[in-house]
Structure 1
Amino acid sequence: MNLTKEERLKKIIDLLSKNKRLSTKKLQQLMQISISTLRRDLITLENTNSIQHTHGYVSLLENSNVEFTYAIRRDKNEAIKKKLCKQAAQIITDGAAIFLDGSSTLAFLPRYFSGKSNIHVITNNIHIASEVNQLKGIDLSVIGGEVSYRSNSIVGPRALEDLKTNYRPNVSFLSCSSLDENGIYMSDENQTLLKRTAIRVSNQTILLVDHSKFTKNDYILLCDYNDKDIHTIITDQLPSKKITENIQSNGINLIITK
């Protein structure tokens, strides 16, 4: 079984959440990976304050959760995410007000703002806000609320109220955790509520999703294809026939990057 690094990290967290404390030898056996790979993964998790690794044993820190740091998620499929963002940037017109959600995929979009003028950016992510703030001629607004632990995203009731009350973007750019033939899904409730609000207050919504999300399973439904909430989906590979049919039969524009 060949798991990606992100999948391995999630599996380690899941094992520790069930067992609380495991020896590195036992963890290696359960993970079915080499000791060198396990060692690198444990270093990654230690750096995110998710685990404690001492004297041959590994335990989950009390405040850990399965939402990994923004940097880890951003680095996964980086080249593909850049292609998606480059494609999305072509849709942005001068003078547009756009919302960028807190997903790691959208982290690369600001670098493609070159040549555009009078853009108004609204975001709930402090990393994206920092990136945008380095650019000249871009108006920046950050919604207020609670900063989610390690995700760099601002969520919660205040964030929802701020976005709902004070902003009307021309376009919202979002990502998701997964999609299948029935709809688009998330793995975090707070992020889901924020994205649903962004969809409601925007004139149109564009979803950026790489092909790795086609085979994942998540349980929180962001929206159905027939809800007419999503206007365009940008991805790097053609989804399965059933997913493609459901997307296009509901009038959603499907763009495959080259």
Structure 2
Amino acid sequence: MYQEERMLQILHYLRLHKRISVDDICEIFNVSRDTARRDLVKLEEHQKIIRTRGGALLPSLDHDSIRSYNERLLTLSTEKQVIGQLAASMIRNKDRIILDSSTTVQACAEKLNVQECSVITNSINQADVLSGKDGVSIHLLGGRLQKEHRYVYGSSVIATLSHYFVDKAFIGVGGITAHGLSVVHEEDGMLMHQMMKQADQVIVLADHSKFGQNFPYRFADLSEVNIVITDRLPDPDMLELLQRHDIEVIVPS
């Protein structure tokens, strides 16, 4: 296993267990203590961990300082494109769909290729991407503009959404755990939950880093999700949890 792969696995372990020791790394990956220390040094250089005596833990997450939309577009961009392609392939001609304002859902909008489709969204970016596609009818919801993250929100948006019914809703998330789906901001989560309620089928788009992550506002239970599209299978415990809730997990073949 290459160092980059080990580092990703170390971060995944930390999300689940909160801390890891040098001995844990040696045992899990069958490497020497010197190799384990080098992995932790590199992760610390990238500001992914805080090194402690004999191990490491995750830095405290400042949930109020989430990166801007454009910064998030650059994060795990390859994975988002893979997920977006899979999501777009599930959209049929003449479908009525909802797209939320997440950057992973934008990848779906970019890959959308149908002759006719009706899209409801609260995202300026999704509307802009779709405006260049013939046959796509766009309903951009009106409300208060969140400038940095480029979406509209508020009670008027939720009220308008309640009058629409669609075939599919494509939703991005901050995190997925046994407790459900979570995001940073309450107003964002409330809107996303309303989107889910209006759809016959709820499809969550989440790269592998979202599994095991908990954010301040839990906006939906796992029982409200039909499909999760991700770039690779989650760990066995998470996969079993999703399957217990009859959630289909789709990954690249």
Partner of 2:244: 249
* Distance of 1:139 and 1:213 partners within structure 2: 31
Quick check: 1:67–1:151 contact (8 Å CA) kept in 2? Answer: no
Give the TM-score taking structure 1 as reference length. Answer: 0.71
Corresponding letter in the other structure for 2:105: L
* Distance of 2:121 and 2:196 partners within structure 1: 13
Corresponding letter in the other structure for 1:107: Q
Deviations along 1:104-153, whole A, 9 cap, x unmatched? 11111122223x11101111000110110111111111011011130101
* Distance of 1:121 and 1:98 partners within structure 2: 5
Once the two structures are superposed, the pairs formed by residues 126-145 of structure 1 within 5 Å of their partners are 126-145=124-143
Give the TM-score taking structure 2 as reference length. Answer: 0.73
Deviations along 1:40-67, whole A, 9 cap, x unmatched? xxxxxxxxxxxxxxxxxxxxxxxxx523
Q: Secondary structure at the match of 1:203?
A: strand
Deviations along 1:164-194, whole A, 9 cap, x unmatched? 12x2111000010011233221111111000
Corresponding letter in the other structure for 1:142: L
Partner of 1:161: 159
* Distance of 1:215 and 1:198 partners within structure 2: 23
Gaps of 5+ in 2: 9-43, 48-63
Gaps of 5+ in 1: 5-31, 38-64
Q: Percent identity?
A: 23
Q: Secondary structure at the match of 1:206?
A: strand
- 4+ runs deviating over 6 angstroms: none
Say which of 208, 211, 226 aligns to 1:211: 208
Deviations along 1:89-116, whole A, 9 cap, x unmatched? 11111000110001111111122223x1
Q: Secondary structure at the match of 1:80?
A: helix
Q: Secondary structure at the match of 2:87?
A: helix
Matched, 1:187 2:184: yes
Q: Secondary structure at the match of 1:139?
A: strand
Deviation at 1:33, TM superposition (A): 5.5
Partner of 2:74: 75
* Distance of 1:190 and 1:137 partners within structure 2: 31
For these two proteins, the number of residue pairs brought into alignment is 197
* Distance of 1:110 and 1:181 partners within structure 2: 29
Partner of 1:26: none
Once the two structures are superposed, the pairs formed by residues 84-103 of structure 1 within 5 Å of their partners are 84-103=83-102
Quick check: 1:186–1:220 contact (8 Å CA) kept in 2? Answer: yes
Q: Secondary structure at the match of 2:133?
A: coil
Once the two structures are superposed, the pairs formed by residues 173-184 of structure 1 within 5 Å of their partners are 173-184=170-181
